């Protein structure tokens, strides 16, 4: 029999797919899951409670109307508490409905999640397309749960982890995401392209896997340590489909490293040019996977924007601490080439690396300052995610205490800023919190970042005395900085 399946994006919380103000990126992973389930004859509905801005009451009404046999909820570490709440609502509203969860967080914190969320029946770990099909067959009464790889479940009160599912080698065998199930008007996904204005956009995955093993990232665990690529022909087919079916004019290539395979990238660029598709596109690269000639070809084929991780202005941090395996000389090449080719180059930086000194933090800020004269720059704090090498180090250094659970909203001594990037622990090591705050506030002030606009969100996110103390520290640093700037200008004017 065909199952009625609701695939749900939780409402509220931090949303990693927000592209820019007024524009949301549709959830690509859930689109792939929906597509393979439809191939099996199941009746699938995507409920994006975030994009729809649903209240709990509205979600309950939606569930009552759909009456699904299975409710699947997608998780990130940032939105995990909203996802927990969504699963509980599903079970309370429809006690007979089977609940399952997928996504990067539950893949790497499966034991912790299933042990604490009793309303959750199944977790699908890692790449989910094959596992979800087999799990739904079991729910239909065909086969045994013990034979489904990549699934975590309970048996007689004990959490059972079946062996991992093999990764999909032939990515061309996957159907395109079930975009007909998205409420596209709610996303209004566009890219603001210089010289072309706001262009309707879509996101495309062209590869999976990552062999680089950066200590703060879980991509290798989720997607495997070997790159797997779709063929350029298959990618081009999807681009043409999106243009013809949805009027798409720009593409976000949603890969960790779009330029990992040079020949693949060159061939796709050539095919885009041959078909005269006139699309603009964004991709993420590594600075050691491109040269001037490749960037030039990408520009000719419509690439107007690249993003990439520099992470630190300290070569020691890059080499000895996080395992990034790039050189700062390569970073400078990207800046020079991008300026010459008129490509927007957006580097990503992180503060508060393990063992990072104040001087190394300042080196990062100076490099950011240099880049910001020509390009947008992104800065975040070092967050701890489950399954990473950084998580193990955080336990070793007692940054995460013994007995820490990802299912507990607040843990004494664990620093989080829910108003900034979800409720994700911040790694605070040698670089002290007041030093981190000083650097962040100085950077925000130089970028004319409006702190005042964020105050209502900050107040809403305060849950405890510890939260209030953290934000108060930031406020004190901010006002001290402003006073010092004012006094500096005042005395300079007096001298003049």
Three-state SS string across 297-331, please?
HHHHCCEEEEEEEEECCCHHHHHHHCCCCCCHHHH
Indicate whether 197 and 323 sit together in one domain.
yes
Here the tokens at position 437 are 């705050």
How far apart CA 237 and CA 249 sit, in angstroms, is 15
**What integer pLDDT is reported at residue 15 of this predicted model?**
55
Q: What is the CATH number of the domain that holds 49?
A: 3.40.50.2300
Indicate whether 193 and 325 sit together in one domain.
yes
**What integer pLDDT is reported at residue 406 of this predicted model?**
96
Indicate whether 58 and 111 sit together in one domain.
yes
Indicate whether 155 and 200 sit together in one domain.
no
Q: What is the CATH number of the domain that holds 267?
A: 3.20.20.70
**What integer pLDDT is reported at residue 423 of this predicted model?**
85
Q: Which contiguous run of DSSP H or E holds residue 281? A: strand 280-284
How far apart CA 361 and CA 378 sit, in angstroms, is 15
Domain boundary among 325, 350, 382: 382
Indicate whether 153 and 200 sit together in one domain.
no
Examine residue 89 and state whether it is found in any structural domain, yes or no.
yes
CB 399 within 8 A of CB 321: no
**What integer pLDDT is reported at residue 495 of this predicted model?**
42
Indicate whether 126 and 198 sit together in one domain.
no
Work out the angle at residue 188's Cα, subtended by the Cα atoms of residues 186 and 192, and round it to the nearest 5 degrees. Answer: 160
Query: Which residues span the domain enclosing 226?
Result: 189-382
DSSP letters, 175-241, are: PPP-GGGS-HHHH--EEEETTTEEEEEEEE--EE------TT--HHHHH-SS-EE--HHHHHHHHHH
Examine residue 179 and state whether it is found in any structural domain, yes or no.
no
How far apart CA 113 and CA 81 sit, in angstroms, is 11
pLDDT in single tens digits along all 496 residues of the chain: 799 999 999 987 655 555 555 678 899 999 999 999 999 999 999 999 999 999 999 999 999 999 999 999 998 999 999 999 999 999 999 999 999 999 999 999 999 999 999 999 999 999 999 999 999 999 999 999 999 999 999 999 999 999 999 999 999 999 999 999 998 888 989 999 999 999 999 999 999 999 998 999 999 888 998 999 999 999 999 999 999 999 999 999 999 999 999 999 999 999 999 999 999 999 999 999 999 999 999 999 999 999 999 999 999 999 999 999 999 999 999 999 999 999 999 999 999 999 999 999 999 999 999 999 999 999 999 999 999 999 999 999 999 999 999 999 888 888 887 666 678 999 999 999 889 988 988 888 776 555 555 555 445 545 555 556 555 665 665 555 555 544 444 334 444 4
Indicate whether 199 and 314 sit together in one domain.
yes
pTM of the model: 0.90
Indicate whether 125 and 203 sit together in one domain.
no
Examine residue 79 and state whether it is found in any structural domain, yes or no.
yes
With H, G, I as helix, E, B as strand and everything else as coil, classify residue 102: strand
Examine residue 174 and state whether it is found in any structural domain, yes or no.
no
Examine residue 108 and state whether it is found in any structural domain, yes or no.
yes
Please compute, for residue 249, the number of CA atoms within 13 A of its CA located in the half-sphere on the CB side: 10
Work out the angle at residue 254's Cα, subtended by the Cα atoms of residues 250 and 258, and round it to the nearest 5 degrees. Answer: 100
How far apart CA 366 and CA 200 sit, in angstroms, is 36
Indicate whether 93 and 56 sit together in one domain.
yes
How far apart CA 320 and CA 316 sit, in angstroms, is 5
Domain boundary among 364, 382, 400: 382
How far apart CA 280 and CA 262 sit, in angstroms, is 19
CB 426 within 8 A of CB 417: yes
Examine residue 478 and state whether it is found in any structural domain, yes or no.
no
Domain boundary among 142, 161, 180: 161
CB 189 within 8 A of CB 249: no
CB 265 within 8 A of CB 242: no
**What integer pLDDT is reported at residue 489 of this predicted model?**
43
Indicate whether 157 and 195 sit together in one domain.
no
Examine residue 460 and state whether it is found in any structural domain, yes or no.
no
Closest CA to 187 of 51, 79, 54, 281: 51
Q: Tell me whether strands 303-311 and 18-20 are parallel, antiparallel or unpaired.
A: unpaired
With H, G, I as helix, E, B as strand and everything else as coil, classify residue 245: helix
Examine residue 442 and state whether it is found in any structural domain, yes or no.
no
DSSP letters, 144-157, are: -GGG-TTEEEEETT
Tell me how many domains the chain contains: 2
Indicate whether 194 and 126 sit together in one domain.
no
**What integer pLDDT is reported at residue 446 of this predicted model?**
73
Indicate whether 157 and 10 sit together in one domain.
yes
């Amino acid at each position: 029999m065909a199952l009625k399946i609701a695939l749900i994006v939780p409402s509220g919380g931090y949303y990693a797919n927000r592209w820019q103000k007024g524009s949301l990126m549709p959830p690509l992973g859930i689109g792939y899951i929906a597509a393979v389930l439809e191939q099996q004859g199941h009746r699938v509905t995507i409920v994006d409670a975030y994009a729809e801005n649903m209240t709990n009451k509205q979600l309950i009404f939606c569930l009552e109307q759909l009456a699904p046999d299975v409710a699947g909820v997608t998780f990130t570490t940032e939105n995990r508490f909203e996802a927990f709440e969504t699963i509980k609502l599903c079970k309370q509203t429809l006690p007979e409905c089977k609940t399952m969860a997928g996504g990067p967080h539950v893949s790497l914190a499966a034991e912790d999640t299933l042990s604490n969320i009793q309303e959750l029946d199944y977790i699908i770990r890692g790449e989910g397309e094959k596992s979800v099909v087999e799990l739904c067959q079991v729910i239909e009464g065909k086969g045994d749960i013990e034979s489904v790889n990549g699934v975590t479940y309970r048996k007689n009160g004990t959490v059972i982890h079946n062996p991992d599912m093999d990764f999909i080698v032939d990515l061309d065998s996957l159907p395109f995401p079930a975009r007909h199930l998205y409420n596209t008007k709610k996303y209004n996904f566009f890219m603001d392209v210089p010289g072309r204005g706001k262009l309707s956009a879509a996101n495309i995955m062209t590869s999976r896997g990552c062999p680089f093993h950066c200590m703060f990232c879980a991509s290798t665990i989720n997607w495997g340590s070997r790159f797997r690529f779709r063929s350029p022909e298959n990618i081009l087919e999807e681009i043409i489909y999106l243009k013809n079916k949805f009027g798409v004019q720009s593409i976000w290539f949603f890969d960790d490293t779009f330029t990992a395979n040079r020949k693949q990238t060159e061939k796709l660029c050539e095919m885009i040019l041959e078909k005269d598709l006139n699309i603009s596109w964004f991709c993420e690269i590594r600075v050691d996977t491109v040269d001037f000639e490749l960037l030039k070809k990408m520009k000719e084929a419509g690439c107007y924007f690249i993003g990439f991780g520099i992470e630190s202005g300290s070569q020691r941090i890059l080499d000895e601490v996080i395992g990034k395996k790039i050189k700062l000389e390569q970073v400078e090449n990207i800046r020079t080439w991008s300026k010459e080719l008129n490509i927007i180059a957006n580097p990503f930086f992180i503060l508060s690396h393990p063992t990072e000194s104040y001087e190394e933090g300042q080196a990062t800020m100076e490099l950011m300052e240099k880049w910001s004269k020509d390009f947008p720059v992104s800065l975040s704090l070092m967050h701890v995610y489950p399954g990473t090498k950084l998580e193990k180090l955080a336990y070793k250094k007692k940054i995460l205490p013994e007995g820490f659970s990802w299912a507990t909203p607040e843990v004494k001594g664990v620093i989080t800023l829910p108003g900034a990037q979800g409720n994700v622990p911040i790694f605070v090591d040698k670089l002290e919190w007041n030093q981190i705050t000083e650097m962040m506030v100085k950077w925000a002030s130089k970028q004319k970042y409006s702190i005042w606009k964020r105050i209502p969100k900050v107040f809403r996110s305060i849950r405890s005395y510890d939260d209030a103390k953290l934000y108060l520290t930031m406020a004190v640093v901010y006002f001290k900085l402003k006073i010092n700037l004012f006094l500096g200008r005042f005395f300079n004017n007096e001298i003049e």
